[in-house]
Amino acid sequence: MAGIYIHVPFCKKICSYCDFYHVMAQSDNKQYINALNHEARLRRNYLGAQSVSTIYIGGGTPSVLQADEIKSILDNIVENFKIDKNPEVTIEVNPDDISDEFLEGLKKTMVNRISVGIQSWRDQDLSLMNRRHTASAAAMALEKIFNAAYENVTIDLMYGIPGMKTADWASNLDISFSYGIKHLSAYHLTIEEGTMLNRMKQKGMLTEIDEDESTAQFQLLIEKAEAAGFIQYEISNFSLPGFLSIHNSNYWKQVSYLGLGPSAHSFNGYSRQWNIRDVNKYIKAIESDSLLFDKEELDRKTRFNEYIMTSLRTMWGINLDYVEDVFDKEGYDYIRNLSGKFIDYGLMRQEKQTLVLTNQGKMISDNIISELMLPVGN
């Protein structure tokens, strides 16, 4: 069981909060698609004998591609990898790109899960984030997707947006659940270096929301999702039973994956590598049968820390038996000793041989995870 991530870096408009690798969309994608397909052929042995259970097309904005271009990419994956019988195949889309024609073409591909980047139902938030769609366009897109008989639909929302009050966030959640979505990813807006929002912040044009408001919005997210029947299976991810993102869950469970495209990451359990963050250099290298990437061999301490960081964010938590098997008694004792105080404070609980965060602990998950990780450099 393994996954494949396909990066499409093109965007028609740059979101003000985005620090992912992206370039402006171009009129002809043929050269890029040829490079993607050739990279897949060059790296067809990366996953070894493992079959592929999930494929995820992310970006950027993959929906700037035509449906037949998406089909070409996926058909090439099938030709070069062993694919499970019923793989989960996700594509990220921007509401503005959704048309009946696009969806009709998409139905001819393997895609069976659609992730819609809505972010907010308030036009003032969308304007601040420099999104190219409006709330009404998002509503129309969702209706078209459901009318096209796609059942496995997830949306992205953001909270902690400057100027957004808790009541506004409550309205965003209510509207989202009213559409009958099966999955929700909700992320706190962070203002990263090099983004438009950061430049606005430096000029005094916006103020980040305070910590109390941020905490209230996260708590409301958990409460409303639970009331709608959703499971919080990861800090930022919620789903109805049977609709968890298998692809993302596998990331958190340390399952191997191959990343295709510029800046895409790959992981095989013992090393991590990432492609060059430049689409033109990427294409040139692939056309000459070369692969340009950096690679990090993961030592025991790094693998331990990555396991703690990813597993504790999920409902599956830290498996103490796994820790003892993989990291010996030293790792087991380390976690048992440090976790005690968090259990005493009501931030964590132990369920048989598993450690999971309580709702209170989820509020400060980053701090808890940081304390449980092994010090770097020792």
Residue 291 located in a structural domain = no
Tell whether 23 and 104 lie within a shared domain. Answer: yes
Tell whether 311 and 188 lie within a shared domain. Answer: no
Domain boundary among 190, 219, 252: 252
Closest by CA to 118, choosing from 178, 206, 75, is 178
Tell whether 358 and 227 lie within a shared domain. Answer: no
| Mean pLDDT, range 242-253, rounded to an integer | 96
Residue 260 located in a structural domain = no
**The pLDDT of residue 328 is above 90:** yes
**The pLDDT of residue 207 is above 90:** no
**What's the confidence (pLDDT) of residue 294?**
97
Residue 284 located in a structural domain = no
Q: What is the pTM of this model?
A: 0.95
| Mean pLDDT, range 226-243, rounded to an integer | 98
Residue 76 located in a structural domain = yes
- 15-55, pLDDT tens digit by residue? 898 877 778 787 789 999 999 999 999 999 999 999 999 99
Residue 202 located in a structural domain = yes
Question: How many angstroms separate the Cα of 194 from the Cα of each of 21, 253, 315?
Answer: 12, 31, 33
Q: What is the CATH number of the domain that holds 171?
A: 3.20.20.70
**What's the confidence (pLDDT) of residue 377?**
63
Question: How many angstroms separate the Cα of 138 from the Cα of each of 59, 212, 227?
Answer: 18, 30, 24
- 287-307, pLDDT tens digit by residue? 999 999 999 999 999 999 999
Tell whether 306 and 229 lie within a shared domain. Answer: no
| Mean pLDDT, range 226-248, rounded to an integer | 97
- 67-91, pLDDT tens digit by residue? 999 999 999 999 999 999 999 999 9
**The pLDDT of residue 283 is above 80:** yes
**The pLDDT of residue 172 is above 80:** yes
8 and 65 Cβ atoms separated by less than 8 Å: yes
| Mean pLDDT, range 333-355, rounded to an integer | 96
Tell whether 158 and 238 lie within a shared domain. Answer: yes
Domain that holds residue 40: 2-252
**What's the confidence (pLDDT) of residue 22?**
73
**The pLDDT of residue 167 is above 60:** yes
Q: What percent of the chain has pLDDT over 70?
A: 99
Domain boundary among 196, 218, 252: 252
Q: What is the CATH number of the domain that holds 346?
A: 1.10.10
| Mean pLDDT, range 199-210, rounded to an integer | 90
Residue 340 located in a structural domain = yes
Tell whether 229 and 91 lie within a shared domain. Answer: yes
Tell whether 210 and 314 lie within a shared domain. Answer: no
Tell whether 140 and 205 lie within a shared domain. Answer: yes
Per mean pLDDT, which range of 22-26, 79-83, 109-113, 250-254 is the poorest? Answer: 22-26
What are the beta bridge partners of residue 178? none
Tell whether 71 and 185 lie within a shared domain. Answer: yes
Mean pLDDT of the chain: 95
Answer with the residue of higher pLDDT: 14 or 7: 7
Tell whether 193 and 339 lie within a shared domain. Answer: no
Residue 292 located in a structural domain = no
Domain boundary among 217, 252, 287: 252
Residue 165 located in a structural domain = yes
Per mean pLDDT, which range of 16-30, 101-115, 148-162, 339-353 is the poorest? Answer: 16-30
State the total domains in the chain: 2
Rounded to the nearest 10°, the torsion over CA 129, 134, 137, 138 is: 40
Tell whether 244 and 320 lie within a shared domain. Answer: no
**What's the confidence (pLDDT) of residue 159?**
97
